[in-house]
């Protein structure tokens, strides 16, 4: 029995095939193009996603040497928040406005003004940010009234793929919460928010838990992809929620930490907890009946990449990190602020800037390298502190992924700064793997998501905090916390 996970990300559409033991059999990917027709705009053509998905499914079946008849179920994931507007017949009305599009600040302000910022946080768990879906809908209403007048359906990127596969308008609850049109506690659309923003309730699709089936592959989709007619398609989840399933961050106390270009801290919560000022994203999880907090740092491993490319372009990352190992914890007073792209958590400030602070004649390149690693770790600790203060006070384990966690030095710094065991796992395909597991649970191979993760996600390494470093880092972190306000 095989399961297919499809991840429609910003850069490509990936198809990943696993068997009923959770083993990855084959992976295929097809690229997307990105359009930036004006400054701050970011758009894609949904039909290009569908072409990429169809190509990737055909390719992964060919690589695995199996027919679509043997795929028991499909799970979906992809980039969150993007607005796909369809007319009554299901035709795309305009290019999708993506998660990283920045045109909607005035609509965000408008949402807070209409509903009240505190009330909006109380209902949706979040403040209105330019990345989210709700302000994008208002932007179209105000700037493209002729498009808005034809609109009948609102979908997110992966749910457009669902529509093309099954003919059904549906969405999972994790991605639904990311539109900020959800009542977080009720796990469904907020009639109050929709009414206040004058968005028709009929535009919003029915929502499902991540493991529920939402439709079946149509004859037309089967002919294009090679899948069998009638193959069930699970709800799945947005890329962060599905990625958390992929590394086993599905129970309270186990936190997912991704150190890629950006950094993401993902914490499962048993209740619809919110951070009172909206400094953390609070969404439904792809795990039925669970929620999650998410903190996002815009320049995590991206800070190290910038540092190396700018100041040491002829030196390998390994050599830089080897030098930094000889430097004591705390970098002898040198601090690095990692706000090279502005920041989101805990400071939602696009104008925040990076800095080295405390440079002296004693400091070498090795000190600067270590300070970058420590500054990123402190920035991630900000999210951990917010999560703990918002009600998830026990964090027992951090499951680390992303390129930044490959080096032993950075893993040790992170473990000591966060004061928790840092583990690595055998799964590296993130969201697509999580989507495939959700499909497997839907098909009954595993009784629930936690069981699927226990069966398939194995620990491959562990880094424990160093008590001596912890003392140093507690003092250094207090200094770090004071730097942004100053």
Annotated catalytic residues are: 239
The residues with which 292 forms a beta bridge, in sequence order, are 268, 283
DSSP 360: -
Give the Cβ contact number of residue 468 at 10 Å.
Answer: 11
Of 432, 449, 439, 433, whose CA–CA distance to 73 is shortest?
Answer: 439
- Tally the C-alpha atoms within 13 A of residue 420's C-alpha that lie toward its C-beta: 22
Cα angle 315-321-323, degrees, rounded to a multiple of 5: 85
Which pair of structure tokens corresponds to residue 369? 């390298």
Whole-angstrom Cα distance, residue 318 to residue 444? 44
Whole-angstrom Cα distance, residue 14 to residue 27? 7
Of 183, 156, 17, 159, whose CA–CA distance to 84 is shortest?
Answer: 156
Output the CA torsion sign for 165, 166, 169, 171: negative
Which pair of structure tokens corresponds to residue 388? 């703990």
Whole-angstrom Cα distance, residue 465 to residue 458? 21
Close Cβ partners of 380 (under 8 Å, ≥ 6 residues apart): 257, 259, 263, 265, 295, 297, 300, 414, 417, 418
Q: How far apart are the first and last CA of the chain?
A: 58
Which pair of structure tokens corresponds to residue 362? 């004693």
In degrees and rounded to multiples of 5, residue 257 shows phi and psi of -130, 115
Give the distance from CA 319 to its chain's centroid.
Answer: 31
CA distances from 444 to 72, 93, 189, 247, 451 (A): 10, 38, 28, 20, 11
Whole-angstrom Cα distance, residue 6 to residue 351? 35
Helix (H, G, I), strand (E, B) or coil at 323: helix
Query: Hunting for tokens 């990449």 — which residue is that?
Result: 305
- Sheet containing 24-31: give its strands across: 24-31, 12-19, 2-8, 71-78, 232-234, 213-216
Which conformational region is residue 315 in: left (phi greater than 0), alpha (psi within -120 to 50 degrees), or beta? beta
Helix (H, G, I), strand (E, B) or coil at 3: strand
Cα angle 86-89-92, degrees, rounded to a multiple of 5: 30
């Amino acid at each position: 029995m095989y399961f297919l996970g499809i991840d429609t990300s910003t850069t490509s559409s990936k198809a990943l095939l696993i068997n009923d033991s959770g083993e990855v059999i084959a992976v295929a990917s097809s690229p997307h193009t990105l359009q930036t027709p004006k400054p701050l705009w970011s758009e894609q053509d949904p039909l290009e996603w569908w072409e990429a998905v169809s190509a990737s499914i055909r390719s992964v079946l060919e690589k695995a040497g199996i027919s679509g008849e043997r795929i028991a179920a499909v799970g979906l994931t992809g980039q969150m928040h993007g607005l796909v507007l369809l007319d009554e017949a299901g035709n795309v009305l305009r290019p999708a406005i993506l998660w990283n599009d920045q045109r909607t600040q005035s609509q965000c302000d408008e949402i807070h003004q209409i509903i009240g910022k505190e009330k909006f946080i109380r209902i949706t768990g979040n403040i209105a940010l330019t990345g989210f879906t709700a302000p994008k809908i208002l932007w179209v209403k105000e700037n493209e009234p002729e498009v808005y007048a034809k609109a009948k359906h609102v979908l997110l990127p992966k749910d457009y793929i669902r529509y093309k596969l099954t003919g059904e308008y549906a969405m999972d609850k994790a991605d639904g919460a990311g539109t900020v049109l959800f009542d977080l506690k009720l796990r469904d659309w907020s009639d109050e928010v929709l009414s206040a923003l004058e968005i028709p309730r009929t535009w919003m699709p029915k929502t499902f838990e991540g493991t529920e089936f939402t439709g079946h592959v149509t004859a037309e989709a089967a002919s294009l992809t090679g899948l069998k007619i009638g193959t069930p398609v699970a709800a799945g989840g947005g890329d962060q929620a599905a990625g958390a399933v992929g590394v086993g961050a599905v129970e309270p106390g186990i936190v997912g930490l991704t150190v890629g270009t950006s950094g993401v801290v993902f914490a499962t919560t048993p209740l619809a907890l919110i951070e009172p000022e909206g400094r953390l994203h609070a969404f439904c999880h792809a795990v039925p009946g669970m929620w999650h907090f998410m903190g996002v740092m815009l320049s995590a491993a991206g800070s190290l990449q910038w540092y190396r490319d700018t100041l040491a372009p002829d030196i390998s990352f390994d050599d830089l990190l080897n030098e930094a190992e000889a430097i004591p914890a705390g970098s002898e007073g040198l601090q690095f602020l990692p706000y090279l792209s502005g920041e989101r958590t805990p400071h939602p400030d696009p104008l925040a800037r990076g800095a080295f602070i405390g440079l002296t004649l004693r400091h070498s390149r090795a000190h600067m390298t270590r300070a970058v690693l420590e500054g990123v770790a402190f920035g991630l600790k900000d999210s951990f502190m917010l999560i703990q203060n918002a009600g998830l006070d026990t964090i027992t384990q951090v499951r680390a992924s992303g390129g930044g966690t490959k080096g032993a030095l950075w893993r040790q710094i992170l473990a000591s700064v966060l004061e928790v065991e840092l583990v690595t796992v055998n799964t590296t395909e993130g969201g697509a793997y999580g989507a495939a597991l959700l499909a497997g649970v839907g098909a009954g191979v595993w009784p629930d998501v936690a069981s699927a993760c226990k069966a398939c996600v194995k620990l491959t390494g562990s880094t424990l905090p160093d008590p001596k470093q912890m003392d140093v880092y507690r003092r250094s972190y207090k200094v770090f916390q004071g730097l942004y306000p100053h």
